[in-house]
Amino acid sequence: MKLAVWTYEGPPHVGAMRIATAMKGVHYVLHAPQGDTYADLLFTMIERRSERPPVTYTTFQARDLGGDTAELFKNAARDAVNRFKPQALLVGASCTAELIQDDPGGLAEALDLPIPVVPLELPSYQKKENWGAAETFYQLVRQFARRDAAAAPADTSRSPTCNILGPTGLGFRHRDDLVEVRRLLAAMGVEVNVVAPWQATPADLARLPDAGFNVVLYPETAGAAATYLKRTLGQAHTRITPIGVKGTDAFVREVAELAGLDPEATLVRARAASNSRSGWYSASVDATYLTGKRVFIFGDASHAIAAARVAADELGFKVVGLGTYSREFARDVREAAALYGVEPLISDDYLEVEAAVAQAEPELVLGTQMERHIAKRLAIPCAVISAPVHVQDFPARYSPQMGYEGANVLFDTWVHPLMMGLEEHLLGMFRNDFEFHADAAASHLGATAPAAHRMQEAPAASVASVVAEQAAPAAAVSAATMPATSALAATALEAATPGAAAPVAVVWAPDAERELGKIPFFVRAKARRNTERFAAQQGIAVITQTTLYEAKAHYAR
C-alpha cells in the first residue's frame, strides 16, 4: 500500500483508452464499475474531443457480484459490436474487475463475434498508464501487422518509406509533433506509409510491414511495438527524439541512414525547408543573461532527457535537477543525469519531487502540470514539457515540441517566464528607486508577482491567501469546469502547506536586514536562505552585514 496525494499516471486501462481513442475502427469493452467512466472526461474535456471515447463500460454494481457479472460483460460486448460496428474489439478489465476474475478475453472469444478480438491483460495493481498504452499498442500490432512478408526490401527506384509510431490520445503535443515530423520527413524525401496509433485502423496496422523502417516518436507508448517489429520483421527504428535543434539534426541524420540517403545532404535539405530561429535567438546578445540559469527538469523520460539536452546545449542553462516518474525508463534518465553531474530523481511521489525542487533552488522549472504547481508555490518560473496533460496543453495554435519549429516553441516557452535580460539589469541597478522599490515586480510577471515575492518570505498564514489569488487561473481539468464564482474557488484558501517556511533561530541585525533589502527581490529569498544556512554552519547567532557578504563569497566560490 502506498500513500498517494497526486499521481503522475492513471491506471493501465487509461493507457489502453488512449490507444483506442487515437485509432479508428476499434472499440474497447471495459469490465468496470460506474465510477471508472470518469475517464471519458479526460478526452472530452482536457483534449476537447468532439466524440466520446470508443469505450463501453459494463458498470457492474455490488448486487451483480453474487450473480452474473460475466453475463453483463457478454451483453455489453455484443451490444457494443452491434451498435458501433468496429473492425476490432479490445476487451479488458479495470482494477475492480481484475479482482473478480471474469476473464473478459475468454468470454469475448466464446461469443463468436464477427470481428477480431484483442484481449488485454493489464495488471492494475502493478502497472500504470504509459505501460498500459504501450502494451495495448503492442498487442494490436502483434495481432494485425502481417507477418507473411519480411520488411519490404529497399527499392532504390522508389522513395524510402517509414511508419510513424507513437502518437496517442491525451499525448503532450502529439497532434502538432506529428504535423512537424511529417513535414520534416517530406523535406527529406521520405514517404510515410502508416501513422499509428493516431487515426490508424486495424487494416492500416496490417500494412505496417510495407515500410522500410519505423520512426518512434514516443518510446513510452511505441517502444514495445517497435521492438516487436524489429524482432519479427527486421524493421529498424529510430532512437533519437527530434527535440531541439541538435536533437532534430541528429534525428535527420539517423533517419537518412535508415532510409539509405546521404545524411549530410539530407540535413541540408531538411534545414533549408525549416524556419529555425531558436539557434540565432540563443546566440543573440539579449540571451546572454540566460547563461548558467539553474533549471530543474522533471517529466516522462524522453521529454525530460531531451529537455535537459536543449537546456544545457542550446540555451546554456545549468541543469541542477533531472528526474522522471517513468520507472520503466529509469536507466536512461540515470545516464542522462550523469552527464550533468546531478543526482537522478526517479519517483512518482509528488511530495518527494516538491522537496527536491525546493532543495535545488532552481531559477526555472521544466516539468509537468504538477511541477507547475510546485513552482508556483515556490514562486519559481516554470514551463510545462511533458504529460500528464491539462487543458492548457492543447493550445489552439500550432505548438509542436519536435523538429525545428518545436525548437522555436521551446525557446519562447522556456525563456519568456524568465526575467527579460535588460529588465533584470535595470531592477538590479535601480533597486532603491521608488518605482523599483523592494516590492516592485518585473512587468511580465503581472499583478501576481509581488504576491509571489511576499510568498517567499511571508509566514504560512499569508501564503494561503497568496496562493488563493494565484490559484484561479491555474485550474486543471476544471479550469474549464469551475466558474470563478464556484464554491470550489474557495478551495484555494486551504493552500497553507505545513512546513512551507520553517522558522530559523538566527537573528538578523538591522544593518544586515537593510542590506538584504537592497538585493533584488527575485534573489532575495535565496540570499536570505543561504546566509542563514551559512550562519548556522558557522555558529553565528546574529547575522550582520559582514556575515551577509561572507556568505555571498562562500556560495560564490
Partner 1 sequence: MNAPVAIEVMRERGQREVFCGLTGIIWLHRKIQDAFFLVVGSRTCAHLIQSAAGVMIFAEPRFATAIIDDRDLAGLADANEELDRVVDQLLARRPDIRLLFLVGSCPSEVIKLDLSRAAERLGARYLPQVRVLNYSGSGIETTFTQGEDACLASLVPQMAVVSGKPELLIVGSLADVVEDQLVGLLHEMGIDRVSCLPPRRAGELPAVGPDTRFLLAQPFLADTARALEARGARLLPAPFPLGIEGTRGWLEAAARAFGVPAERLDAVVEAPIARARAALARQRPLLEGKRIFFFPDSQLEIPLARFLARELGMQLVEVGTPYLHRAHLQQELEWLPPGVQIVEGQDVDLQLERCRAARPDMVVCGLGLANPLEAEGITTKWSIELVFTPIQGFEQAGDLAELFARPFVRRGLIAGATRQPVGEQAA
Binding to ligand SF4 (CB under 6 A) within 517-546 occurs at none
Cβ 33 to ligand SF4, closest distance in Å? 4
Q: Which span (33-41, 216-224, 381-389, 478-486) binds ligand SF4, by CB under 6 A?
A: 33-41
Cβ 326 to partner 1, closest distance in Å? 15
Q: Using CB under 6 A as the criterion, what x/- string covers residues 81-100 for binding ligand SF4?
A: --------------xx----
How far is 436 from 36, CA to CA, in rounded Å?
53
How far is 20 from 26, CA to CA, in rounded Å?
6
Catalytic residue (choose from 286, 433, 439, 511) = 286
Q: Which residues of 328-355 are buried (b: 16+ CB within 10 A; e: fewer)?
A: bbbebbeebbeebebebbbbbbbeebbe
Q: Residue type at 483?
A: P
How far is 354 from 372, CA to CA, in rounded Å?
10
Q: Are 229 and 214 in contact (CB under 8 A)?
A: yes
**Bridging pattern class, strands 161-165 and 213-216:** parallel
How far is 358 from 362, CA to CA, in rounded Å?
8
Residue 488 contact among ligand SF4, partner 1, none, beta carbon within 5 to 8 Å by kind: partner 1
Cβ 51 to partner 1, closest distance in Å? 5
Cβ 469 to partner 1, closest distance in Å? 11
Residue 207 contact among partner 1, ligand SF4, none, beta carbon within 5 to 8 Å by kind: none
* Site residue total, ligand SF4 (CB under 6 A): 5
Residue 479 contact among ligand SF4, partner 1, none, beta carbon within 5 to 8 Å by kind: partner 1
Question: Contacting ligand SF4 (CB under 6 A), which of 24, 25, 33, 78?
Answer: 33
In the bound complex, which residue of the shown chain has the CB atom lying closest to ligand SF4?
35
How far is 242 from 341, CA to CA, in rounded Å?
24
Nearer to partner 1 by C-beta: 483 or 510?
Answer: 483
CB atoms within 10 A of CB 219: 25
In order, the DSSP letters of 164-178 are EE---TT-SSHHHHH
At which residue does the C-alpha cell 471474469 appear?
A: 102
* Residue 289 in grid coordinates: 543573461
Question: Contacting ligand SF4 (CB under 6 A), which of 4, 6, 35, 186?
Answer: 35
* Residue 67 in grid coordinates: 450473480
Residue 57 contact among ligand SF4, partner 1, none, beta carbon within 5 to 8 Å by kind: partner 1
Residue of 380, 388, 376 lying closest to 497 (CA atoms): 376
| Dihedral (CA of 128, 322, 360, 429) sign | negative
Nearer to partner 1 by C-beta: 343 or 494?
Answer: 494
Contacts of 549 (CB under 8 A, 6+ apart): none
Nearer to partner 1 by C-beta: 65 or 542?
Answer: 65
Residue 458 contact among partner 1, ligand SF4, none, beta carbon within 5 to 8 Å by kind: none
Residue 14 contact among ligand SF4, partner 1, none, beta carbon within 5 to 8 Å by kind: partner 1
Nearer to ligand SF4 by C-beta: 26 or 93?
Answer: 93
Residue 426 contact among partner 1, ligand SF4, none, beta carbon within 5 to 8 Å by kind: none
Nearer to ligand SF4 by C-beta: 36 or 103?
Answer: 36
Contacts of 503 (CB under 8 A, 6+ apart): none
Q: Which span (30-38, 157-165, 172-180, 342-350) binds ligand SF4, by CB under 6 A?
A: 30-38
- Decide if 102 is catalytic: no
Q: Residue type at 7?
A: T
* Residue 145 in grid coordinates: 501487422
How far is 361 from 378, CA to CA, in rounded Å?
9
Cβ 36 to ligand SF4, closest distance in Å? 4
Nearer to partner 1 by C-beta: 349 or 532?
Answer: 349
Cβ 89 to partner 1, closest distance in Å? 16
Three-class DSSP category at 189: coil
Cβ 152 to partner 1, closest distance in Å? 24
* Residue 259 in grid coordinates: 532510409
Beta strands in 72-116 (DSSP E): 88-93
Q: Are 27 and 56 in contact (CB under 8 A)?
A: yes
Question: Contacting ligand SF4 (CB under 6 A), which of 9, 36, 102, 405?
Answer: 36
7 contributes a contact to ligand SF4 by CB under 6 A: no
Residues forming beta bridges with residue 438, ordered by sequence position? none
Q: Which residues are catalytic?
A: 286
Binding site for ligand SF4 (CB under 6 A): 33, 35-36, 95-96
